[in-house]
Amino acid sequence: METPQFGLSTLSRLGLGCEQLGGTDWGKFDIQQAMQTVRHASDCGINVFDTADVYGLGSSEELLSRSLGQNRKRAFIISKCGIRWEAAKHGRARTFRDASAAYVTQAVESSLRRLRLETISAYLVHWPDPKTPIAETIEALESCRQAGKIRFIGVSNFSANQLQDASTAARLDFAEVRYNLLEREAETRLFPLCRQLGIAVAVYGPLAQGLLSGKYDSDSRFGSDDRRHRLPQFQPQALERNLKTVRRLQMVGRRIGYSPAQVAISWILAHPAVSCVIAGAKSPQQLMENAGALKGKLQTRDRAYLNGEIENL
């Protein structure tokens, strides 16, 4: 497994997304299997685990820590704050953005407690908060770093302009960015800026929430407890368009002996700005399939075909 250096740590190029561990809004879910997936990842040398305080309203952080046991101290855990929640008796919790210094400082303490750690490897602002000046948020994170509670700091879902602003307040280590074959906006400004500023990029949503695995088609239906019933890429018109990309993944996969998910992840890993791909997985089988992408079999012609630059492989 190729392992780029990251400060004192060595990151695996594939990380495990642990939002699913929170157990909400992802449809059918087996908690034991999800915990087993975390342990399996750790046993296989995957050391990057991505979570957030709001995932499962704290339960993703707690279960990640429990699943890893003592290995949690050696793992590179990325967590995030900046979305507050009010639990509801019925239905989904109410969430709202708050990246104020007071809330960030409190959120770091709560994450440390749930993760049962003295220091979190990386802590990010989950989403920009329009009500809080970016400098206030970043300075609060920087104070936590100075106090030894966080090792690396960063942002998630920031535009290039927001990232530029944030980077004037303190040295940023990380940007978490949504990026996949269907969503490539980051290529234009964000990725070049990250490279220029020396900020590591962790990509999330590499499979467009499972769509690029090739197992969904226009007959697929999702329940109201599964976010995919409302996500734009699964709506009928967009889905028809997106399935053409899936067919290209399948074509390339057949040529090189990869599954569509492996091709989709490989395509991202080939981008020079990307340090790590965070893929969600609900089972050890999915995790192992995704890890197969690390062999990196894609050739220039495969990438050109996936990019739509040529019509035939």
Ligand X SMILES: NC(=O)c1ccc[n+]([C@@H]2O[C@H](COP(=O)([O-])OP(=O)(O)OC[C@H]3O[C@@H](n4cnc5c(N)ncnc54)[C@H](OP(=O)(O)O)[C@@H]3O)[C@@H](O)[C@H]2O)c1
Q: Measured from the CB of residue 279, what is the shortest distance to ligand X in angstroms?
A: 4
Q: Which residue in the set 107, 163, 175, 261 belongs to the binding site for ligand X (CB under 6 A)? A: 261
Q: Measured from the CB of residue 243, what is the shortest distance to ligand X in angstroms?
A: 15
Q: Point out which span in 109-117, 145-153, 181-189, 272-280 binds ligand X (CB under 6 A).
A: 272-280
Residues in 227-256 at the binding interface with ligand X, rule: CB under 6 A: none
Amino acid letter, residue 189: R
* Enzyme catalytic residues: 55
Asked whether position 281 contacts ligand X by CB under 6 A, the answer is: yes
Q: Which residue in the set 14, 34, 279, 294 belongs to the binding site for ligand X (CB under 6 A)? A: 279
31 vs 101: CA distance, rounded Å: 34
Task: List b or e across 285-309, with b for residues whose CB sees 16 or more CB atoms inside 10 angstroms.
Answer: ebbebbbbbbeebbeeebbebbeee
Q: Measured from the CB of residue 102, what is the shortest distance to ligand X in angstroms?
A: 22
Q: Measured from the CB of residue 72, what is the shortest distance to ligand X in angstroms?
A: 16
What's the gap between Cα 146 and its chain centre? 26
User: Which residue lies nearer to ligand X by CB, 15 or 193?
Assistant: 15
Q: Measured from the CB of residue 89, what is the shortest distance to ligand X in angstroms?
A: 26
30 vs 282: CA distance, rounded Å: 8
Closest CA to 53 of 131, 105, 114: 114
What does the CA dihedral 287, 290, 292, 295 come to, rounded to 10 degrees? -130
12 vs 34: CA distance, rounded Å: 20
CB atoms under 10 Å from CB of 229, counted, come to 14
Q: Are 161 and 116 in contact (CB under 8 A)?
A: no
Residues in 178-217 at the binding interface with ligand X, rule: CB under 6 A: 204-210, 213, 215
Residue number of the CB closest to ligand X reads 17
Asked whether position 286 contacts ligand X by CB under 6 A, the answer is: yes
Q: Which residue in the set 9, 23, 24, 27 belongs to the binding site for ligand X (CB under 6 A)? A: 27
The residues of the shown chain that bind ligand X, judged by CB under 6 A, are: 17-20, 26-27, 50, 126, 156-157, 176, 204-210, 213, 215, 261, 278-282, 286, 289-290
